[in-house]
Amino acid sequence: MHHISRIPPAVSALPAPADDSPAGRHAFSRRQVSGGALGLLALGLAGGLAGCRRGGAGLDVVNLAAIAYPYKGGQVLNGLNGVVEEQGWLKGELGKRGIALNFVPVPTAVGAPQINEGFSGRKIDFASYGDFPAIIADAGGVPLKLVAPAGQGQDVYLVVRKDLPARSIADLKGKRIALHRGRPWELPFSKLLDSAGLTFADFTIVNINPQATPAALAGGSVDATVLLSDGLLLEQKGIGRVIWSTKQAPADWKMRAELFARGDFVADHPEITQLVVSAFVRAARWSADEANKAQVIANAARGSMPTPIIEADYASTPYSWRERFSPLFRPAIASHYRSVADYALAHGLIHAPVDTGQLIEPRFVAQAIRDLGLTGFWSDKDSAA
């Protein structure tokens, strides 16, 4: 699978919310819901989303949002989304039913809030994105379903500026830490603080996005930052030094990003939902094959991170390459989402509780596993190695 998949540059990102404060990005008032719908409608007219969605109970197009990266003059989908697109199975199956498949690329810098606007405006049907924003959307009156887990989660890194002698989170007390609030890596950071008997009040939290962080760290305007694998890139460039990561923590501290669907779409179109989930399970099976490991890493690096950074991020894990891509609903997934929902409510990111039992919808993965003959291929135990 060496085909380079590119999305034309004309398909642009979803429009950014006008209010960039934490409340503006994450609270879902009636104003935001209607604003998101209008912004996405404008994008649809520009060609990013397919128009004329439905006729009666029918369906003309499935819109699937995913984080996209600039690559060789276009935008490329990485991870399972890229595999699904390149395999072409889902496009073919939908085509047999007279339904088009439309990937909606979203820049990583603004992905979560804009995906939530897409869900609230009913302009996207599925999205691969993080645990935090999905909980925020659901609490804001946009019912979602987690229809396919995406492996074991992603590691989070705490990076300090290169000339700072800090060795632990305790050494950073009173320092300025860059943290993009409301993003999925906030929860692991909070758990780290709790484990050390610290709180957010012990630091000056600077709420900036990851793209602005390297300059802030290099210039000394912040002392540390919390990032995903781009934290390893800062270390490679000599800007900072990793002093902690979730590789040193319990497995459920990792950030998770999964395949979510609108609740009403799942209820109205279970057969189509099954096709989409089956396509992602197929992609997970391909990615889990050791023979495809080099290609998986190369694909992950497209427009994102240098290959050595991807390799370092994937290294030193307690589970096998196969289990890295498990789509099974292990017990730890339910407990993880309960902790995300509880944290978001306790810290004012949401103002209504989320029933995570209603959020999780395992039946489509279970059916895909049976249909594809994958029973027993992945372990259903939380501690699978």
**Residue 163 sits in the same domain as residue 195:** yes
Alpha helices (runs of H) in the chain, residue ranges in sequence order: 22-26, 30-46, 79-87, 89-96, 111-120, 131-139, 186-195, 213-219, 230-236, 263-268, 270-287, 293-300, 307-314, 321-324, 331-346, 356-359, 363-371
Q: Are residues 170 and 315 in the same domain?
A: no
Write down which residue in 230, 253, 276 finishes a domain: 253
Are 166 and 204 contained in the same domain? yes
Note whether 97 and 41 are same-domain residues: yes
Q: Is residue 315 part of a domain?
A: yes
Per-residue tens of pLDDT for the chain, all 385 residues: 433 444 333 333 333 333 333 333 333 333 333 333 333 433 433 344 554 454 335 899 999 999 998 888 888 999 999 999 999 999 999 999 999 999 999 987 777 888 999 999 999 999 999 999 999 999 999 999 999 999 999 999 999 999 999 999 999 999 999 999 878 889 999 999 999 999 999 999 999 988 899 999 999 999 999 999 999 999 999 999 999 999 999 888 999 999 999 999 999 999 999 999 999 999 999 999 999 999 999 999 987 788 999 999 998 888 899 999 999 999 989 999 999 999 999 988 899 999 999 999 999 999 999 999 999 999 987 644 4
263 with 244, same domain: the answer is: no
Q: Does any domain span residue 376?
A: no
**Count of domains for the chain:** 2
Does residue 129 sit within a domain? yes
SS3 329: coil
Task: Tell me whether residue 15 is in a domain.
Answer: no
Domain boundary pick from 253, 284, 307 = 253
Range of the domain at 76: 22-153+256-371
Whether residue 8 lies inside any domain: the answer is: no
Within a domain: residue 9? no
Q: Are residues 174 and 243 in the same domain?
A: yes
Asked if 54 and 108 sit in the same domain, the reply is: yes
Residue that is last in its domain, among 222, 253, 284: 253
Residues 68 and 135 occupy one common structural domain: yes
In a domain, 70, yes or no: yes
Q: How many Cα neighbours within 13 Å face the side chain of 311?
A: 8
CATH of residue 201's domain is 3.40.190.10
Taking only the tens place, the pLDDT of each residue in 110-163 is: 778 889 999 999 999 999 999 999 999 999 999 999 999 999 999 999 999 999
Question: Are 247 and 211 members of one domain?
Answer: yes
Same domain, 262 and 244: no
Within a domain: 121? yes
Within this chain, do residues 144 and 53 fall inside the same structural domain, yes or no? yes
d(C-alpha 352, C-alpha 159), whole Å? 33
d(CA 235, CA 210): 14
- Residues 114, 138, single domain; the answer is yes
